[in-house]
Amino acid sequence: MERHLATEKQWLRTRLESLIDAARETEQKLNRLAALELRLLEAHEFPAVLGILLEDLKTGFDLDQVALVLCDDQNDLQTALESHSLPEHWPLRLIADPAPLRPLREPTLGSPGDDDPHVLDFCGMKKLSSRALLPLRRGTDPIGLLVLGSCRAERYSTDQDTYLLKRLAAVVSVCLQNTLSAWRLREIGVTDPLTGMRNRRFFDQRLQDEILRMEREGHALACLFVDIDHFKRVNDDHGHATGDHVITAVAQRLAHHLRRFDLLARYGGEEFVILLPALEPAEIHAVAERMRHQVEATPVPMDQEGEIHVTVSIGAARLPPRLLKGKPPEQRARALLNAADQALLQAKESGRNRLVISQEFRDARLT
């Protein structure tokens, strides 16, 4: 009898220790999850949010795969991410049509199957033994899908409780929406509402950044001022709505000749400003002349008035990296802008529809 009681007591002790260990493990998992969710809520930029999901979630919870599909029907996410250098190995996909994700309304656990959305074919699903598909939603509308994958079949079984996974999906959904909303608000503040190009506020900040980068990398920086010739006549003869249409059309023609990292901004009224890093004088001349020629050769079509022929005057200046070295970035930026502005004035005074490149920075007194 005593032996039986001792055996039962030992079994109970072992069982209790096992339950305590399981409880501690669950508590640790909850704490890690809460810490990760807090970091997500504190993140304000897409790279930070994506890094927490695609890197930290994977390593912190011993997962073999974490992948993310995001709905981007308005191309906002693509635009927001273009300015960041995201790691190429991140399993991230943007889709324009959310239809493949609509059937998923609850977390789906178990082994990968043929019924999984085809948009997941990029993340190595067939190599996994179990996965959790977490729908990300805004109300009833799908905004994405978070995939957690494991090479252990027991990691995500069909009979597993999904409360914590639902909570994680809800937090991720809110964080992604908040981050996108914040990005949209910032974009409104630095985007010209008429043309969709950057505005002067954005240009002023970017100019400072480009001056600093010029100092670090040792390349020249060129600035072009572009002014639509006789624009007042367009407004007087055809109305301000037509004038707005002309401004937008000219902006599109100018943008066509720029590289991805160049900057075109509407400086005010009918005037644009362009930054061209790391170009030689002959290249600046060629780019500016292509712009001028295209505007001149491509009339702006109007709905009921045929078309309008417009031209532009361009003033350009190029700041070599060694000139004004050691001066404050604000002073170097001001000198570059003034030189391009004076060149534009010369172009307009000498007949318009022409390019003038400033010779100011050849003066040794500026060094």
Count Cα neighbours of 252 within 13 Å in the Cβ-side half-sphere. 11
* pLDDT tens per residue, range 110-149: 999 888 888 998 888 888 999 999 999 999 999 999 999 9
What is the per-residue pLDDT for 155? 92
Cβ-count burial of 210 within 10 angstroms (0-12 exposed, 13-18 middle, 19+ buried)?
A: buried
Whether pLDDT at 305 is above 80 = no
* pLDDT tens per residue, range 7-65: 777 777 777 767 776 667 666 778 888 889 999 999 989 999 999 999 999 999 999 99
Across 286-296, average pLDDT: 97
List the domains of the chain with CATH numbers.
32-187 (3.30.450.40), 200-366 (3.30.70.270)
Which residues lie below 8 Å from residue 252, measured CB to CB, with a gap of 6+?
A: 195
Residues 225, 273 contacting (CB under 8 angstroms): yes
The 3-state secondary structure of 176-243 reads: HHHHHHHHHHHHHHHECCCCCCECHHHHHHHHHHHHHHHHHHCCCEEEEEEEECCHHHHHHHHCHHHH
